[in-house]
Amino acid sequence: MAAVARAATTSDAFNAIAEPQRREILALLRAGERPVTALAQELGMTQPGASKHLRVLREVGLVRVRGAGKQRLYGLDARGLRPIHEWIGGFEQFWNESFDRLDTYVQDLKQTRQGE
């Protein structure tokens, strides 16, 4: 099987969030801004490791950073999630139709059993 070249993780949001620890960082940042040291501690990783993940997330527009005294606070920039949201939204109709069919099937089963 031929290997497919994979784009760099910094090329777009899809590649950036393919890394589970980056998704964890985004989940933590939903609650508000945090310094890298707090993120590293909560994720059980080193500060340099967390900083590298934050750099990738910042480069693709998923995280913003601002200075607050001596600290740099990282926050979620949800605008960067728009391409992912739009892509996933394309599957919403599929799932809604699937659940509608399942609901119809269950209702038919109930009526069949009540008629017995």
- Report the number of distinct structural domains present in the chain: 1
Residue 7 lies in a domain: no
Question: How far is residue 89's CA from residue 11's CA, in Å, rounded to a whole number?
Answer: 22
pLDDT surpasses 60 at 8:
no
What does each C-alpha distance from 7 to 18, 23, 50, 87, 105 come to in angstroms?
11, 18, 21, 18, 43
Model pLDDT, residue 9: 56
With cut-offs at 50, 70 and 90, classify the pLDDT of residue 6.
Answer: very low
Range of the domain at 25: 13-112
Model pLDDT, residue 64: 96
What does each C-alpha distance from 70 to 94, 97, 112 come to in angstroms?
49, 52, 69
CATH of the domain at 56: 1.10.10.10
Residue 1 lies in a domain: no
